[in-house]
Amino acid sequence: MIFSTDLDFEDWHRFVYHHPLGNIHQSPQIHRVYQQTKNYEPRVLGMLDEKTGEIRALVAGVSIRENLSIGSSLSRRMIVLGGPLVSPDLDQGAISELLASFDRLNRGSCIFCEVRNLCDMSAVLPFPDRYRFVGHLNYLIDLNQPVDAIWNRIHKGRRHNIRRAEKEGVTVEEIHDPEQLPVFYHLLEETYRNARVPLPDISLFSSAFRHLVPDGFAKFFLAGHKGRYIGGRAVLLYRKTIFDWYGGSAQDASTLYPNDSLVWHELRWGKEHGYGTFDFGGAGHPDRPYGPREFKRRFGGDLVNYGRNIHVYSPVRMKLAEVGLQLYQSFFHRFF
């Protein structure tokens, strides 16, 4: 086997798309989006058959530097969404070699590598001494059931909110014009500022709109009310799964429940277009408070704990980065 960071786009696409665990986050399509995103540096490492050049395994991630006013130089981390993809006949030795090679690429520039699992990856990542498992929840909604069954699994309070929003005239529309992206982004900014967590640069969304939307790998939606946009949500689409990606809303429009309307719209759209699963994109650590968890829980999905696997390259820099994030959050709490 040989390793390569320069994979043919079509070979890469075929390997991920036909792999049982293949997902949008390991695809060359999202890699191309990250290449044109500020503060993002995508990396991929493939394990190839030395004779045929066939891809046998790969791991793709993105190095992210948060645009923080405090501690930005200490905030670069490697995020691997979906985990490594490995041909079923490869043994743990080959997987270990793949990860070790990927770590060597990242160790000098990133504080840690975090694998965010979309399914049970215990067979692929059986290395607790290197990649420590940390619990992380998520909700998955089955779209293979009748739409009435999907509706009835939603908590009655959430159904009341959706009906009320419809009664008040809240509508949902898909974004077709990139000129609307700043409106979408402003709604995200308001939400993330209120939550005191960093938000990626708008280039992430403009790049996704340019590269993913035309080929059916993403959709952007806006919720409107009386000529004003009050909520926005974006999803990623791959095979039969909808991945809830980013969402935000106007704080003064909370009584109109734009987020409830947007998620219900996405569920109905997914059902109508043959998708089988709605992945809510995470619900936090099992033992820590997480505001969005209750919102997601009330849509009736199945709770899973596929967790994350974390390999810290520099414990000292990791601690400094945590302090920097705390200062950042304190800054926004005081001045916004």
For residue 179, is it left (φ>0), alpha (ψ between -120 and 50) or beta? alpha
How much is the mean pLDDT over the chain?
91
Is the model's pLDDT at 126 over the cut of 80?
no
Q: Tell me: do 23 and 117 sit in the same domain.
A: yes
pLDDT at 327 > cutoff 60: no
Specify whether the CB–CB gap between 9 and 211 falls below 8 A. Answer: no
pLDDT value for 279: 98
36, 74: one domain = yes
Burial of 148 from C-beta contacts in 10 A (0-12 / 13-18 / 19+) = exposed
Question: Degrees (nearest 5) of the Cα angle 12, 16, 22?
Answer: 160
125 and 169 assigned to the same domain: no
Based on the domain organization, do 32 and 174 belong to the same domain?
A: no
How far, in Å, CA of 249 to CA of 163, rounded?
18
Same domain? 51 vs 149: no
| Among 307, 310, 320, 321, residue whose Cα is nearest residue 103 | 310
Are 118 and 16 members of one domain? Answer: yes
Q: Is the pLDDT of residue 103 over 90?
A: yes
Which among 179, 281, 286, 302 is positioned nearest to 236, based on CA atoms?
281
Residue 326 DSSP one-character state: H
Domain hosting 61: range is 2-136+307-335
CATH code: domain of residue 63: 3.40.630.30
326 pLDDT exceeds 80? no
Q: Does the pTM exceed 0.85?
A: yes
Do 247 and 103 lie in one domain? The reply is: no
pLDDT in tens, 24-78: 999 999 999 999 999 999 999 999 999 999 999 999 999 998 765 444 445 689 9
Q: Calculate what percentage of the chain has a pLDDT beyond 70.
A: 91
Residues 54 and 115 in one domain: yes
**Nearest 5°: CA angle at 130, between 125 and 136?**
60
* Residues 50 and 121 reside in one and the same domain: yes
Looking at the structure, do residues 147 and 121 belong to the same domain, yes or no?
Answer: no
Residues 288 and 313 in one domain: no
CA distance 180 to 193: 20
The total of structural domains in the chain comes to 2
Same structural domain, 316 and 267 = no
Task: Determine the pLDDT at residue 334.
Answer: 35
Query: b or e along 73-102 (b: 16 or more beta carbons within 10 Å of the residue's beta carbon)?
Result: ebbbbbbbbbbbbbeeebeeebbebbbeeb
Q: In the prediction, which pLDDT does 218 show?
A: 98
